[in-house]
Amino acid sequence: MAINVRGLFLCMKYEIEQMLTQGSGAIVNTSSIVGLIALPGASPYVASKHAVMGLTRSAALDYAKQGIRINAVNPGSIATEAFDRTLMKMGITADALTAMVPIGRIAQAEEVAQVVVFLCSDAASYITGQPFAIDGGYTAS
């Protein structure tokens, strides 16, 4: 399922409006590792995730001087019920997919949440316009 990039743009418009009023803020968009790489047979999905990254980077440059930081998380495989259903539909076993991840396991949703919390914190005050792959090393090669 491709993300509605127009919807994301509208959400960011109102977030940015509030952040301009308060003088600062942090936005973390959710893309995917396919916002950084390609995946055969999934062109519409890949295109939508690349669009999220383009929007993230451009908006980050547009609003950096106003104290608004905009970044993105790019998760790989995350252990969820939806993930399990997708694997079953595709006829892929969890073991086969896990074997493709250098760290040797599938991520937990909490691991993505921890990166989002970091990016929203003062500890990330000098980071904007960046993708954060949370993929166990999959995109490192």
- Asked if residues 69 and 125 have their Cβ atoms less than 8 Å apart, the reply is yes
Active site residue 45: yes
H or E stretch covering 1 = none
Check 14, 45, 126, 138 and give the catalytic one. Answer: 45
- Asked if residues 71 and 30 have their Cβ atoms less than 8 Å apart, the reply is no
Q: Scan for tokens 């599938």, then name that residue.
A: 106
Rg of the chain taking only CA atoms, in angstroms: 16
**Type of residue at 109:** A
Q: Which residues are catalytic?
A: 45
